[in-house]
Amino acid sequence: MGQPLRVGIVGTGAISGQYLDAFARLDAVRLVAVADLDRARAETVAAEQGVRALSVDDLIADPEVDVVLNLTVPAAHADIALKAIAAGKGVYGEKPLAATLPEARAVIEAGRDAGVRVGCAPDTVLGTGVQTARKAVDDGLIGTPVAATATMLTPGHERWHPNPDFYYAPGGGPLLDMGPYYVTALVTLLGPVASVVGAASHTRETRTIGSGPRQGETVPVTVDTHVTGVLRHESGALSTLVMSFDAVATRASNIEVHGQTGSLIVPDPNGFAGDVLLNALGSGGWETLAPSAGYRDAARGYGLADLAATPRGTAARANGDLAYHVLDVMTSLLASAEQGAAVTVESTCERPAAVPLQDAPQAV
């Protein structure tokens, strides 16, 4: 086994805990330092993990850091990524790759020019849920894929999140917040997207915070909170996407994939596992497929470990080009909704390599 990738985390908010829990069982990565604008928060995490708490600039410059794990808010993703790349570091970030497509393009181009690797969440698609569904598609269990549906309907995050402002500001909304999980899963299952057509709306001008010290405070809504559209994949398959903070509940599957000879129900792409159901033509009903692909017991951080386990010159699965294409699909969908016309998705990407059924990635 090779040496682990030495990781420095920028941003020690709530999501960092999930990464730290996963790191405890991943031999491919080793945490060496943390940083946060809130120094006290970084020092608390550093003490718990037995690592150093540094300033953001010092962490990025530190020679013991191989890759910067960027867990900042979306508006800061590009800035931190570009600084890390300029320092010769690899970078792996939370989704989306950047708040805007031009910023994301700058990150990809800088990484390519510097010869460093860029990775990005979501890595949920590397678990047994989506990967078992992908294997069913690849093995021909549903015949030629024809269509898919992806549905996420909730009343909005302000009910439980104590600081939900960014969900309703530019760069937020249900599509850019939750869409990366669903669109990344659709690209994993059916390949890249060639064009989109969409529509969008919002029902309220403000939202009321439902918990925490700001409970009862209102925040302005400046983005669309219900987005729907059709994605035309390069393969010819059509995916219907519905992302909403305006609905109460739904009984629709998170994702369904339909082929000429069968249909699949795919588990929540915001999780790593879950049952995959197959209804083959003439079978008479749904059957649960045993996990047959993906990382077992995966969690946030497995995408970074997968990058560490991927030889240089070979694309890691949760790679920057995929994240850029997913962001391009989503921003094209919003542009289509604004223009009232279909929009061509300018970028493309390689469908990520499948994950054979296995435990954690091992460093190379």
Q: Where are the domains of the chain?
A: 5-120, 126-294+325-344
List Cβ neighbours of 79 (8 Å cut-off, separation of 6 or more).
none
* Helices of type H across 8-156: 14-23, 39-49, 56-61, 74-86, 101-114, 128-138
Q: Given the DSSP bridges, would you call strands 343-344 and 287-289 parallel, antiparallel or unpaired?
A: unpaired
pLDDT in tens, 320-350: 999 999 999 999 999 999 999 999 999 999 9
Does this chain's domain 5-120 share its CATH topology with 126-294+325-344? no
- Distance (Å, rounded) from C-alpha 190 to C-alpha 111? 27
With pLDDT > 70 as the criterion, what percentage of the chain qualifies? 100
- Distance (Å, rounded) from C-alpha 82 to C-alpha 61? 13
Angle between helices 128-138 and 173-190 (to 10 degrees): 40
Please name which of 244, 224, 232, 269 lies closest in space to residue 133, comparing C-alpha atoms.
Answer: 269
pTM score of the predicted model: 0.96
pLDDT in tens, 137-191: 999 999 999 999 999 999 999 999 998 998 998 878 999 999 999 999 999 999 9
Q: Which residues pair with 90 in a beta bridge?
A: 67
pLDDT in tens, 289-321: 999 999 999 999 999 999 999 998 888 999 999
- Distance (Å, rounded) from C-alpha 36 to C-alpha 221? 28
- Distance (Å, rounded) from C-alpha 91 to C-alpha 318? 12
> Going edge to edge, which strands form the sheet with 29-35?
52-53, 29-35, 5-10, 67-70, 90-93, 118-120
| 3-class SS of residue 136 | helix
Quick one: average pLDDT of 259-276? 98
CATH architecture of residue range(s) 5-120: 3-Layer(aba) Sandwich (3.40)
- Distance (Å, rounded) from C-alpha 320 to C-alpha 1? 25
- Distance (Å, rounded) from C-alpha 37 to C-alpha 340? 41
**pLDDT greater than 70 at residue 1:** no
pLDDT at 364: 76
Give the pLDDT band of residue 2 (cuts 50, 70, 90). Answer: confident
List Cβ neighbours of 242 (8 Å cut-off, separation of 6 or more).
149, 150, 151, 152, 153, 227, 228
The more confident residue out of 291 and 361 is 291
CATH number (3.40.50.720, 3.40.50.300, 3.30.360.10, 3.40.50.2000) of 126-294+325-344 reads 3.30.360.10
pLDDT in tens, 46-72: 999 999 999 999 999 999 999 999 999
- Distance (Å, rounded) from C-alpha 28 to C-alpha 97? 23
Angle between helices 173-190 and 320-339 (to 10 degrees): 120
